[in-house]
Amino acid sequence: MTPEPRSEGSSMSIIAWLVVGGIAGWVANMVLGTPNGLIRTVIFGIVGAVVGGAIGGLLLPGADSATLISGINITSIIVAIIGALIVGGFGAWWSKRGATPV
Q: Does residue 2 form part of some domain?
A: no
The domain total for the chain is: 1
Q: Does residue 99 form part of some domain?
A: no
Q: Does residue 76 form part of some domain?
A: yes
Distance of alpha carbon 67 from its chain centroid, rounded?
Answer: 14
As a whole number of angstroms, the distance between CA 61 and CA 50 comes to 18
Residue 66 has a CB neighbour count (10 Å cut-off) of: 13
- Over residues 4-54, the pLDDT tens digits come to 555 454 466 888 888 888 999 999 989 988 888 888 888 888 898 888 888
- Over residues 51-100, the pLDDT tens digits come to 888 888 788 777 666 667 777 888 888 888 999 999 988 887 777 776 55
Q: Does residue 101 form part of some domain?
A: no
Looking at the whole model, is its pTM more than 0.85?
Answer: no
Q: Does residue 31 form part of some domain?
A: no
Domain assignment of residue 64, given as a range:
38-90
Q: Does residue 65 form part of some domain?
A: yes
